[in-house]
Structure 1
Amino acid sequence: FQGDDGSRPTALRFSQCNGLQVKGLKHRNSQQNHVSINGCDGADISNLDIRATATSPNTDGIDISASTNVRIHDCLVATGDDCIAIKGGTSNVHISNIACGPGHGISIGSLGEAGGHDQVEGISITNSSFTRTENGVRIKTWQGGSGFAKNITFSRITFVAADNPVIIDQYYCPHKKCADKTFAVKISDVRYSGLHGTSIGKQATINFSCSEVVPCTNIVMDDVDIESADPSHHSTTAHCNNAHGTAHAVHPPVNCLINH
């Protein structure tokens, strides 16, 4: 199948499939996304072995869009982009037992590109590991978009030398020139529980970069301990901008959350 830009193809694409089951496949070096799930209800994806070189661009492992009631479990994903990406129009996704790395981690988004309206809700990622990934668990939205990402849980996650383990970014823009707009996709009701491991990041280990006009709300952190993989050269830190929530038993301390 041709890619979104009409050039490099996605290796395996499923559209408008109900009760879909994909199991036990091995993918190597897709030219673009390895597996795409679009407009599906009730998909079960398991025991996939997906690999591409760490430097290969846009080689997402599994992309999900406009789909509901999706289970992804017991997979190994090592690529040059997101291990799993969850796009707009998606709800009730349960991801577990994923070994991710190398790659860009597991991302919700990007959402709201080019002023678009996107909705994502009811997402859980649990019992998964991120080894030498560029990011860990990430929510990313463009300025100028609308909609929401809510009811999201990250639990029992292990990081091994991850670069940016925990990120919410409402200013996502991979281009050199980015829009400066006040609208934003609303992010709320996000819970982080039982996240442990190490980071090699020189920037903030926990980074909540939220919109002043549409701030992040009800961010809850509990039992989070991320240490530096190289404490002699850098320490773990937290950064928050317009993020509201609570943190209990969290290292590095996230005192920057607005607690009300």
Structure 2
Amino acid sequence: MGIIGIRTATLLLAALAWRSVLVAAAGEADGVFNVKDYGARGDGTTDDTKAFIDAWSAACGARGSSASLLVPAGKSFLVGPARFSGPCASTRIIVQVMGTITAPPPGAWSGQKYWMMFYQVQGLTVTGGSTGLLDGRGRSWWWSDQCNRYGDIYKAPTALVVMNCTDVELSKFSSKNSPQMHIAVSQSSKVHLTQLTTTAPWDSPNTDGVHIDQSEDVRVTRSTMGTGGECVSIGPGSRFVTVDGIVCGPGRAVSVGSLGKKGATESVEYIDVKNVQFINTSSGARIKTWQGGKGYARSISFTNINFTNVDNPVVINQFYADPYHIPNMGAVAVSNITYTNLKGTSRYRTAVEFVCSESGSCTNIHVNSVAITFPYGEALALCQNAQGDTSGYVYPKIPCLR
């Protein structure tokens, strides 16, 4: 190539490079925003919160079909509390958690109720891989003086909150030892949580795997959850929720409720729980409401459920956390509840408990094909004020259903 050709090629490369700068400046190119490029150290001791927020701001402001915030593998980043707010310029923002994000000790929280929150984002993916981990360092909360000073464990923060968001996927990362709930979905819609792992000791208080409230069109699928709280808790204002393919244990249950505390009017409807394995949990398929509450829990199904050594496999309890059953006090109406193909073993003799209010608020309970045994004798069902029917083989026999 002659001198003229070299100069021409050089000018062409320079022009292309300059055009790339202009395109990026105009926000027309997708980008990856690595937290290390914004000052994150990833040494496990330096506070990297500002770097994460700055990287989020850059990714959220980048225009294009998508933008990514990268948390690289092989590093441990001390972060939080932090709020990542939208709306964002791109149609989808992707957070790739390939490394470990570690929570600060309790003294650094200043009363915040969450560790990390995604707020008002439309089109969000938070994903990881075999190395992606959120470490909430919950042990410093569960049995410490910090909890005693705050009064109770409910003052402990939730690890990851999705609030007021639409079109969200959380997938393929792990969360361990959350101070309280691992993941909470609130006031959001079109949310899919899949291939997640949440772990905490069986006696860690209220470390729910996933909690859902005031949200609709939420799916929790193909995940493993072992905690000290509910594996999945479905709270007030939840509609069209699917829980499918969960392995739960240790923990409490997949629960609907609790609803109606202090006389509140609350509702939950169109809940589908299926293909769940409960292993050594304190409950299994559970619905719980408070005395004196108002509203309803309706159109709820539990299908293809397997219990292994579960304390209380099937429960409807309208006297949740209230030992004083006041007659005719009223209750959240529980109706159109369907149980199909439930089987396994109960740790205690009473395998089914339908304990309902005298106000006649448990109706249309349908039980089809249930076989839950007690290894050391005859299994029993406790049935109080529930109305409904059974079909197929049902053991133990439920005396107050037709």
Which bracket does the TM-score occupy, shorter chain normalised? over 0.9
1:255 and 2:399 equivalent? Answer: yes
Partner of 2:101: none
Q: Which has the larger radius of gyration?
A: 2
The Cα of 1:116 is off from its aligned counterpart by: 0.6
CA contact (8 A) 2:180 2:206 kept: yes
1:138 to 286, 294, 307: 286
Partner of 1:246: 389
CA contact (8 A) 1:238 1:253 kept: yes
Partner of 2:341: 194
The Cα of 1:3 is off from its aligned counterpart by: 3.6
2:356 to 201, 207, 210: 210
1:160 and 2:316 equivalent? Answer: no
1:109 is paired with a residue whose SS is strand
The Cα of 1:178 is off from its aligned counterpart by: 4.9
2:372 to 211, 220, 226: 226
CA contact (8 A) 2:292 2:330 kept: yes
Aligned partner of 2:390: which letter?
A: A
Aligned partner of 2:385: which letter?
A: N
How high is the sequence identity, in percent, across the aligned residues?
Answer: 38
Counterparts of residues 12-161 of structure 1 (less than 5 Å)? 12-161=160-309
Distance 2:159 2:316 in 1: 29
- Measured against aligned partners, the alpha-carbon deviations of 1:21-52 in whole angstroms (never above 9, x if no partner) come to 10011011101000000001110010110000
Q: TM-score, normalised by structure 1?
A: 0.93
Gaps of 5+ in 1: none
Aligned partner of 2:331: which letter?
A: A
Distance 2:233 2:113 in 1: 15
1:171 is paired with a residue whose SS is coil
Distance 1:110 1:169 in 2: 10
- Measured against aligned partners, the alpha-carbon deviations of 1:118-143 in whole angstroms (never above 9, x if no partner) come to 11000000011000000000000000
Equivalent pairs, count: 252
The Cα of 1:255 is off from its aligned counterpart by: 2.4
CA contact (8 A) 1:185 1:214 kept: no
- RMSD (Å) for aligned C-alpha atoms: 1.6
2:400 is paired with a residue whose SS is coil
Distance 2:270 2:348 in 1: 29
Q: TM-score, normalised by structure 2?
A: 0.61
The Cα of 1:183 is off from its aligned counterpart by: 1.6
Relative to total residues, which structure has the larger strand share, 1 or 2? 1
More relative contact order in 1 or in 2 (CA 8 Å, sep 6+)?
1
1:114 is paired with a residue whose SS is helix
1:167 is paired with a residue whose SS is strand
The Cα of 1:215 is off from its aligned counterpart by: 2.7
